């Protein structure tokens, strides 16, 4: 009788894969066993239906499974007479961990059907849904190595857990009202979910503990409650995330088929959707044409929404600039100043996970923040990276995230935040220790940003391992190449990189770059004409500083005096002339700020990063007109002609939305022209679009259209902003490590 050893690699633990294999083996009349080990799932099987069995493993796999490969080899050894699910074996970690998954239809039906054992229970789950990464302490993924180890299963849960035919077979977070976690509210009430809903209806703020952390919650229909939350959290204009049932979402926003599918993805991300009407308070997302919606992704959320019967604001439960609160005592200490009540439970959160944020564009999905539901999913390394060493990349300073390379996979970690914040720095250190221990990762090389003073760079230099410093925008390009599976030997691409800032090789601040690049290196072909960042970091906060610099550069100093009469123009001009705290920058992000300030948008101070650019994009959605002129010549893209034409035409009082659109269109035409010229000069095979400015869906669409029919590489699975930069750093370091090895 034929017998095989079958190795299945990928996202195959914690997704019901072993009971699926057990049922499949019984269907084909096989004997043998299936088990988890550090490399994935291992199957030993014998019988006449082996070929059909192996073919069916991938084609019929569970919905949450992601199979990277199936390898078979002959097996000679003892096997059980029947087919068994064996205990997990081994230590270490080479398999993929499943991200947290939104409540499945079967579990939702149970908690909403009277008479069911889990009716009204806030922690129902099965192998098709529920917490995974947020409760995991170690691998392999077994209950004893999760935060559910504190809860002893009752007899009924134990029977479900042990039955391979049950959808809860080895569902590690399995629980019920008799044996699982409990939910309560402070101040105390015998019916915590109804009490929370009553407080929300009364216009109060309630802190709610979810899967990856606490949220601050108000009734999204109550303008006074939304204003109260903004006042208490000192968050004047940054958009709030919303949670609602699909009927609510379709009432208040326009939802395409693709967007509906994204909302229903097991990751349950926040999805940016166009507003429909004005029934919800404007204060939810001031100066925006979109709202960020997510479906309820835990039973607790479903029960709370049903009790309130309406949509909720769900914004991160944290002090300004700090990471999200995850512990009960921490919530009592920090969130009580915001919240009138706290809805909490006693299942511990092993790691903090913000909600992922995504949007659909005319060119496919785009991830703005990669977190809960998307991590720790891995990306396969492109062709040519076989044999790459283990690499740790520590990312940049903003939107920090780390990346681990091991065994042909890249694991881009979850969003952490701004490393200047002390608690975010602690979270960064924890994430490094956490991922390296969890995935048995032992790097031989560290990759960091070129900027030596980033906290992540200092950290990298102190690890005692070889360090590769990667220029910021080269890392952006490499991340885009890697996500698109661009082979290490596939040749160079032209890259258009547009972001806020990154240290250049020449010591200036880059941010509007046309490069020709591969994983090993790059050549800077063109760039936005530099202008001084007057006041250094202050220029990122104060759009008027960038407007002053660009108007003076365009010979419009008298206009700057008229527009900025109340600002200390002369002081800043002296600083710019002397070069004191006024580094030159080619940043397109700061160009957005300058033009937004020209239109009076967030001129004095941005209350959150990207406020001016987001407002400008939203305004441009309703505009039209010919592109403003930017000149591409002598290796520079000069925006001065745009400001000159705008200054001339502003006397006729054109519509602000038309000026905003013409800015986007003019910038897109210039970037595309520069990209095409670089392709003609170098013979590059494709164009990659990278950097945070390409999270602007309008700019992205206009550049893609202006480029024409050339092959274009875009970010879809990883953020185009600094949240994806660690992936690029890791690939550059891996490519450089492989180069000398091949030479030898």
48-96 pLDDT, tens per residue?
889 999 999 988 888 888 888 899 999 888 888 899 988 777 655 555 6
Residue 428 lies in a domain: yes
Predicted confidence at residue 437, as pLDDT, reads 86
pLDDT digit string, tens, across residues 651-690: 899 999 999 999 999 999 999 999 999 999 999 999 999 9
Residue 193's φ and ψ, nearest 5 degrees, are -70, -45
Burial of 318 (0-12, 13-18, 19+ CB in 10 A): buried
Q: Identify whether residues 728 and 621 lie together within a single domain.
A: no
The boundaries of the domain holding residue 59 are 3-85
Q: Are 53 and 32 in contact (CB under 8 A)?
A: no
Q: Do 454 and 590 lie in a common domain?
A: no
In a domain, 530, yes or no: yes
| Residue 364, burial from CB neighbour count under 10 angstroms (0-12, 13-18, 19+) | exposed
Contacts for 88 with CB less than 8 Å, ≥ 6 apart: 35, 36, 37, 140, 142
Give the phi and the psi of residue 469 in degrees, each rounded to 5. -90, 125
Alpha-carbon span 568 to 588, nearest angstrom: 24
Query: 64, 85, 106 — which closes off a domain?
Result: 85
* Statement to judge: residues 617 and 704 lie in one domain: yes
- How many CB atoms are located within 10 Å of the residue 125 CB? 25
d(CA 513, CA 636): 9
Q: In what order do the strands lie in the sheet with 403-406?
A: 379-380, 409-412, 403-406, 391-393, 445-449, 467-470
Structure tokens at 648: 């001339």
Residues 727 and 740 occupy one common structural domain: yes
Tokens representing 168? 């809860």
Model pLDDT for residues 532-552, shown as the tens digit of each residue: 999 999 999 999 999 999 999
- Retrieve residue 515's tokens: 């490069």
Q: What is the CATH number of the domain that holds 28?
A: 3.30.70.100
**The CATH number of the domain where 723 resides is what?**
3.30.420.360
- Is 446 found in the same domain as 543? no
The predicted pLDDT at position 655 comes to: 96
**How many domains, in total, are found in the chain?**
3
| Pairing label, strands 445-449, 467-470 | parallel
Q: pLDDT tens digit string along 451-470?
A: 999 999 999 999 999 999 99
Q: Are residues 545 and 641 in the same domain?
A: yes
Peptide bond just before 140 cis, omega within 30 deg: yes
119 falls within a domain: no
In the numeric block, which tokens belong to residue 538?
């202050």
Does residue 585 sit in the same domain as residue 618?
yes
Is 484 part of a structural domain of the chain?
no
**Which residues does 619 contact at the CB level (< 8 Å), separation at least 6?**
287, 599, 601, 656, 657, 660
Residue 406 CB contacts under 8 Å (≥ 6 apart), including other chains: 94, 390, 439, 441
Judged by DSSP in three states, 128 sits in coil
- 573-603 pLDDT, tens digit each: 999 999 899 999 999 999 999 999 999 999 9
Q: With contact defined as beta carbons under 8 Å apart, do 104 and 110 qualify? A: no
Residue ending a domain, choose from 39, 70, 85: 85
Q: 142-156: per-residue pLDDT in tens?
A: 899 999 999 999 999
Looking at the fold, whether 442 and 541 belong to one and the same domain comes out as no
Q: Tell me the three state secondary structure of residue 67.
A: strand
The pTM score is 0.94
Residue 553 belongs to a domain: yes
**Pairwise CA distance, residues 371 & 724, whole Å:** 12
State yes or no: pLDDT of 1 exceeds 80.
no
- Burial degree of 1 (CB within 10 A; 0-12, 13-18, 19+): exposed
* Structural domain contains residue 80: yes
Within 8 A by CB and 6+ apart from 391, the residues are 403, 404, 405, 443, 444, 445, 446, 447, 730, 733, 734, 737
Same domain for 619 and 639, yes or no, is yes
Answer whether residue 744 shows pLDDT above 60: no
Q: Which two tokens stand for residue 589?
A: 């992000």
Last residue of a domain, one of 17, 52, 85: 85
Q: Quick check: is 205 in a domain?
A: no
Q: Do residues 418 and 398 touch, judged by C-beta distance below 8 A? A: yes
The SS3 of residue 458 is: helix
Per-residue buried b or exposed e for 32-61, using 16+ beta carbons within 10 Å of the residue's own CB: bbbbbbbbbbbbbbbbebbeebbebbeeeb
Q: Take residue 260 and report the two structure tokens written for it.
A: 């509906």
Same domain, 705 and 720: no
Does 584 lie in the same domain as 655?
yes
Q: What is the mean pLDDT of the chain?
A: 94
Highest mean pLDDT pick, 53-62, 159-168, 414-423, 544-553 = 544-553
pLDDT for the residue 288: 96
Contacts of 329 (CB under 8 A, 6+ apart): none
The domain that holds 556 is classified in CATH as: 3.30.420.40
Mean pLDDT on 292-315 = 98
Helix (H, G, I), strand (E, B) or coil at 232: helix
pLDDT of residue 732: 98
Question: Is residue 389 in some structural domain?
Answer: yes
Q: Two tokens at 712?
A: 């274009």
The residue whose two tokens read 């076989």 is 386
Q: Quick check: bond before 376 cis, omega within 30?
A: yes
Asked if 707 and 727 sit in the same domain, the reply is no
Write the pLDDT tens digit of every residue in 186-217.
999 999 999 999 999 999 999 999 999 999 99
pLDDT recorded at residue 93: 52
């Amino acid at each position: 009788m034929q017998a095989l050893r079958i190795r299945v690699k990928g996202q195959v633990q914690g997704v019901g894969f072993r009971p699926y294999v057990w049922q499949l083996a019984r269907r084909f009349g096989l004997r043998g066993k299936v088990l988890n080990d550090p490399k994935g799932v291992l199957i030993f099987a014998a019988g006449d239906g082996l070929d059909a069995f192996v073919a069916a493993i991938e084609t019929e796999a569970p919905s949450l499974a992601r199979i990277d490969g199936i390898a078979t080899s002959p097996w000679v050894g003892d096997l059980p007479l029947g087919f068994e699910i064996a205990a997990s074996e081994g230590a270490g970690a080479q398999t993929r961990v499943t991200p947290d998954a939104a409540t499945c239809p079967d579990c939702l039906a149970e908690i909403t059907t009277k008479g069911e054992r889990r009716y009204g229970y806030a922690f129902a789950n099965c192998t098709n849904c529920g917490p995974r990464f947020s409760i995991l302490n170690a691998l392999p993924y077994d209950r004893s190595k999760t935060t559910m180890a504190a809860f002893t299963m009752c007899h009924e849960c134990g029977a479900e857990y042990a039955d391979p035919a049950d959808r809860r077979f080895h569902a590690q977070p399995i629980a019920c009202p008799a044996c699982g976690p409990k939910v309560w509210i402070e101040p105390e009430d015998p019916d915590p979910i109804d009490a929370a809903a009553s407080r929300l209806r009364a216009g109060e703020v309630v802190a709610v503990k979810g899967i990856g952390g606490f949220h601050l919650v108000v009734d999204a229909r109550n303008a006074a409650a939304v204003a109260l939350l903004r006042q208490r959290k000192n968050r004047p204009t940054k958009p709030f995330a919303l949670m609602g049932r699909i009927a609510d979402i379709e009432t208040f926003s326009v939802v395409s088929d693709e967007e509906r599918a994204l909302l229903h993805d097991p990751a349950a991300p926040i999805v940016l959707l166009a507003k429909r009407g004005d029934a919800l308070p404007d204060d939810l997302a001031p100066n925006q044409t979109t709202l960020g919606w997510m479906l309820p992704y835990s039973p607790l959320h479903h029960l709370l929404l049903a009790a309130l019967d309406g949509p909720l604001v769900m914004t991160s439960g944290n002090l300004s600039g700090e990471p999200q609160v995850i512990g009960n005592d921490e919530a009592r200490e920090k969130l009580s100043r915001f919240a009138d009540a706290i809805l909490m439970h006693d299942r511990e959160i092993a790691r903090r996970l913000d909600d992922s944020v995504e949007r659909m564009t005319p060119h496919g999905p785009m991830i703005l923040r990669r977190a809960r539901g998307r991590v720790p999913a891995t990306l396969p390394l492109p062709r040519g990276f076989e044999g790459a060493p283990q690499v740790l990349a520590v990312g940049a300073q903003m939107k920090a995230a780390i990346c681990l390379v091991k065994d042909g996979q890249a694991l881009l970690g979850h969003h952490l935040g701004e490393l200047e914040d002390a608690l975010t720095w602690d979270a960064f250190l924890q994430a490094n220790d956490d991922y390296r221990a969890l995935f048995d990762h032992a790097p031989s090389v560290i990759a960091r940003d070129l900027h030596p003073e980033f906290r992540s760079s200092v950290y990298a230099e102190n690890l005692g391992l070889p360090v590769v410093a990667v220029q910021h925008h080269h890392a952006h390009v490499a991340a885009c190449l890697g996500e698109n599976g661009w082979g290490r030997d596939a040749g160079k691409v032209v890259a258009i990189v547009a972001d806020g800032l990154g240290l250049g090789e020449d010591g200036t601040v880059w941010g509007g770059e046309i490069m020709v690049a591969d994983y090993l290196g790059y050549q800077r072909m063109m760039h936005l004409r530099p202008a001084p960042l007057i006041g250094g970091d202050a220029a990122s906060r104060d759009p008027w500083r960038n407007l002053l610099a660009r108007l003076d550069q365009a010979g419009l100093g008298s206009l700057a005096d008229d527009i900025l009469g109340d600002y200390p123009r002369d002081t800043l001009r002296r600083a710019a002339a002397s070069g004191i705290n006024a580094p030159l920058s080619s940043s397109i992000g700061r160009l957005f700020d300058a033009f937004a300030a020209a239109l009076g948008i967030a001129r004095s101070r941005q209350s959150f990063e990207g406020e001016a650019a987001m407002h400008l994009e939203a305004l441009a959605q309703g505009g039209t007109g010919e592109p403003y002129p930017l000149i591409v010549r002598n290796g520079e893209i000069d925006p001065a002609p745009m400001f000159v034409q705008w200054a001339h035409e502003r006397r006729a009082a054109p519509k602000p939305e038309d000026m905003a659109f013409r800015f986007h269109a003019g910038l897109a035409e210039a970037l595309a022209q520069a990209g095409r010229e670089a392709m003609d000069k170098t013979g590059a095979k494709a164009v990659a679009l990278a950097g945070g400015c390409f999270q602007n869906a309008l700019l992205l669409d206009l550049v893609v259209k202006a480029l024409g029919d050339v092959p274009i590489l875009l970010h879809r699975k990883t953020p185009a902003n600094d949240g994806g930069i660690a992936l690029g750093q890791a690939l550059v370091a891996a490519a450089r490590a492989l180069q000398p090895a091949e030479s030898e």
